[in-house]
Structures are given as C-alpha cells and as structure tokens.
Amino acid sequence: MTDKDTFLKSDLLERYLAGLTNTQENLEVESYINTFPEVKEAYHKLENKLELVALANAEEAPTHLLESILETLDHKPVVPLNNNRNKSWFTYGIAASIATLVFAGSSVYFYVQNQDLQDENQVIVDELFDLRSDIDQNNLRLEALSKEFSRLNNPETEKYILNGNGRAKNLKTIAYINPKDRTSLIDVVSLPLLPKDQEYQIWAELQDKQVNLGILTPSERRLQEIPYTKDALGLSITIEQKGIKPNKNTTDTPVAEIELKIED
C-alpha cells in the first residue's frame, strides 16, 4: 500500500467516483477512505464537486415520463439498490458533462471552419471576377488591334514614312491614309526629346494653306487617329512653342515632311 500523500496526489479518487477502477483499486480506495480522515474529506469534496457538475448539466424529465415510471413501479416488486448507485449516478453525470463540452467544442470548431470556408469562397469569387474583367479588357484590346490590323492591310490604305531631317535625326513616323474610307492613322515610331516648352505638331499641306492635325508626343508609341484632310498634298511635322496656337505665318520650318499621292 502506498502512503497517504502519494495516494492523494494520484487520480484514484477521481477514477473511483467515475466508476473507472477495478476491484483491487476499489478495495484500496475504500481502505484509505476508512483509514485516513484527510482522504475521506478529499473524497467528499470531490464527490460534491462532481455532483454540482452533474446537476448543472442534468435535464428535467418530462412529467408524463415520470408518471409512466411511477405507474410501472406500482406493479413491480421493489428491488434493493446496490451500494454503487451513487457511483453510477455520478458516472452518468460526468458522461453528460463531457458530452456537453464535446458538443460545444464541436459546434465552435464547425462554426470557425464554416467562416473560413465562406472567406475562401469570397476570395475565389473576387479572383474570378477580376479574371473575367481582365479577359473582357483583353478581348476589347484584341478587337481594337484586329480592326487596326485590317485597316493597315487594306489594299486602299497608303503608307507614308516621315523621317526627320538634321534638326531631328532620330524622328520617324508612319502615316496610313485611306482615301476611300476617309481615315488617317499615324504611328509614332520615335521622336527625339524636346525642351519642356516645345512640342511636335503634324500638319496637312493644302494648295493654299496648312491645316493643323494635332500634337505628337514621345510617350504615345502607338497608332493615333488624325483628321483626314481631303485634297492634302503632303504631311509635315514641326516643332512649336507650347501654349501658342500656331498659324501659317508663325509655323516653324518642318523637321520632317513628305508629299502625298492620293487621288480622291
């Protein structure tokens, strides 16, 4: 037999109350309870605690069920209860408490899992929405490129290359003009950088005047629409002062120019 302090530090009392001890352990526990007042006091304290736990988790039986049991007992002989009735009652109470805790823990776990699943689903929905938006934008770009490609490869479209002179050696643009469709495109291949107060402008040369078709910027390395000018004899690019609207008298000498051979 172990000493009293060692016994109290073990879990024999708890397992005894829960009905989890074997015959040998039952004898040992009962012997300690009857021999040592400290063990007996610890036993009663633990018994009271377990009783409170069991009562807290117990549910009141329906009235009709109690009446049915009492009616049945009136016709049955009384059978003496064995000495372990308290242990069995506490065992069921403990089992009910454990089941309640397990159920509560499971509920929390599944709630958290459900929230995580909803968050993941929302992320997937957002990603699909972004992907669909990207696909739509790419389709629009492809459609625009396809139209531009068709226009550039149209047999009626004339191609003109404008190279810069000594004042703008690296300047190169390509003009695509279709007199049948009355469309004009300009492809800015390269434009030398200018001071901040200057800019490139493109012009249409007519019989008796020049018509401004817009500004060319080095940052716009793409096909740009420019106004179609009927009866244009040529195209030219000049360097002008920003903020000053040029005219025939103020226009600088061209840094690139080309004659057009278009029969309208």
Residues 178 and 255 in one domain: yes
Give residue 218's domain range.
158-259
Task: Report the C-alpha gap between 6 and 103 in whole angstroms.
Answer: 35
Residues 255 and 170 in one domain: yes
Residues 163 and 246 in one domain: yes
Task: Report the C-alpha gap between 61 and 168 in whole angstroms.
Answer: 101
Task: Report the C-alpha gap between 260 and 253 in whole angstroms.
Answer: 18
How confident is the model over 172-225, as pLDDT tens digits? 988 898 888 888 888 888 888 888 888 989 999 988 888 898 888 766 656 788
Q: What is the CATH number of the domain that holds 250?
A: 2.60.40
Specify which of 102-116, 149-163, 198-212 reaches the highest per-range mean pLDDT.
Answer: 198-212
Residues 164 and 253 in one domain: yes
Compute the C-alpha angle 158/246/215, nearest 5°: 45
Say if 264 falls within a structural domain: no
Residues 169 and 238 in one domain: yes
Reported as a pLDDT band with limits 50, 70 and 90, residue 82 is: very low
Reported as a pLDDT band with limits 50, 70 and 90, residue 17 is: confident
Looking at every residue in the chain, the average pLDDT score rounds to 76
**pLDDT given for residue 81 in this prediction:** 43
AA letter at 196: K
Say if 135 falls within a structural domain: no
Task: Report the C-alpha gap between 264 and 261 in whole angstroms.
Answer: 10
Residues 162 and 255 in one domain: yes
**pLDDT given for residue 79 in this prediction:** 46
Say if 166 falls within a structural domain: yes
Residues 162 and 251 in one domain: yes
**pLDDT given for residue 57 in this prediction:** 57
Say if 130 falls within a structural domain: no
Say if 205 falls within a structural domain: yes
Residues 25 and 94 in one domain: yes
Pick the range with the lowest mean pLDDT from 2-11, 142-151, 174-183, 238-247.
142-151
Say if 162 falls within a structural domain: yes
Residues 21 and 91 in one domain: yes
**pLDDT given for residue 203 in this prediction:** 92
Residues 88 and 162 in one domain: no
Q: Which residue has the higher pLDDT, 183 or 114?
A: 183
Say if 237 falls within a structural domain: yes
Instruction: Name the domain count of the chain.
Output: 2
Say if 109 falls within a structural domain: no
How confident is the model over 24-46, as pLDDT tens digits? 888 888 988 899 889 888 888 88
Residues 255 and 168 in one domain: yes
pLDDT of residue 59 exceeding 60, the answer is no
pLDDT of residue 91 exceeding 70, the answer is no
**pLDDT given for residue 251 in this prediction:** 62
How confident is the model over 119-150, as pLDDT tens digits? 877 878 788 778 777 787 777 766 666 666 66
Q: pTM of the entire structure?
A: 0.44
Last residue of a domain, one of 58, 79, 98: 98
Compute the C-alpha angle 251/254/256, nearest 5°: 150
Residues 163 and 232 in one domain: yes
